[in-house]
Structure 1
């Protein structure tokens, strides 16, 4: 119950920051790879971040999101096994370096809380490349890694990010 209250408080704080300058919201589609690809065919996620200018070409801030990886149906010799969806709530520090007016490199580092049953979560890292489509809209390509006890959950993601 304490974990749920902490998450709710963090989300309320994050949502209240969205009205300020530097807020971004996005959606992404992911392709699970490695161990994750054995259990899921694709994932969808939403991201929120708030970034402050730390230097001329560097922004830093906080990020929160939600990811749902849709479970596969696996056929075996004794029948089909339905894998449940896997869900994470990443909480992270965020940094973006603007290489040019249109391109940026960035990373989110933190912890991904496991939401689904039997999912304890783990260390979260997400390097990314961004391309500005317009003043308010950007395209992102990222790799998400979550270090789990005894394995990892990895995805390749393509998304859109909107400046609020």
Structure 2
């Protein structure tokens, strides 16, 4: 129940941040960073990836999704707010099924466009563990994710396809044990 309250509080905080930023931004129209009339760009995406490090010994791959808001703060620079869901599918080892791990990462960061349509992004935040029976030490961990990607415009009104590759890692969920959720992932999103 505490995690549900934490998640709800974070979602409301990010929604408030997006709303207040919307009131302070002006529409921008550049070929590299097309925005909506409010100046904020939104995207909804599908995410997948492959675990790396010790995490790959127990999990096969992950599948999830996310929503993201890009808030313009300067020419070619955006503040990002991202919330999602990731399910890491467990392996079967010596006849024993490793349980899936389900995380809700909530992150904020920066996205910069050094050249047209190509961006570099870095985010950090908290990852909330949904199935606490897997790790009973902590239900929240620090998460960080550097990413590079390309945005392809698909309409004159500013809609776009966002394809990004990233490394994502959490801090340990169990003290004194390597319990980091680490993966190389792909996010394919539709933006408006």
Q: TM-score, normalised by structure 1?
A: 0.87
Question: What's the C-alpha RMSD, in Å, of the aligned pairs?
Answer: 2.2
Q: Following the alignment from structure 2 to structure 1, what is the Cα–Cα distance between the partners of residues 148 and 109?
A: 13
Aligned length: 160
- Corresponding position: 1:153 with 2:181: yes
For 1:161 and 1:14, the matched residues in 2 are separated by 19
Greater strand proportion? 1
**Looking at CA atoms only, which structure, 1 or 2, has the larger radius of gyration?**
2
Q: 2:134 aligns to what?
A: 118
Equivalent-residue separation in structure 1 for 2:73 and 2:113 (angstroms)? 12
How many Å apart are 1:128 and its aligned residue?
0.2
Q: C-alpha separation between the residues in 2 aligned to 1:134 and 1:112?
A: 31
Where structure 2 has 5 or more consecutive residues not aligned to the other structure, the ranges are 20-35, 155-159
CA distance in 2, matches of 1:102, 1:3: 37
Point out where structure 1 has 5 or more consecutive residues left out of the alignment: none
1:74-93 paired onto structure 2 within 5 Å: 74-75=93-94, 80-93=95-108
Deviations 1:93-136 (A, max 9, x none): 12100111121000110111111223323110010001123341
User: Whole-Å Cα distance in 1 between the matches of residues 115 and 99 of structure 2?
Assistant: 42
| Higher relative contact order structure (alpha carbons within 8 Å, sequence separation ≥ 6) | 1
- Note the alpha carbon deviations across 1:14-69, whole angstroms, 9 max, x for none: 67969973111111111001111011110012111112111111100321111000
Q: Say if 2:151 is the partner of 1:132.
A: yes
* 8 A contact 2:145–2:167 mirrored in 1: yes
CA contact (8 A) 1:40 1:72 kept: yes
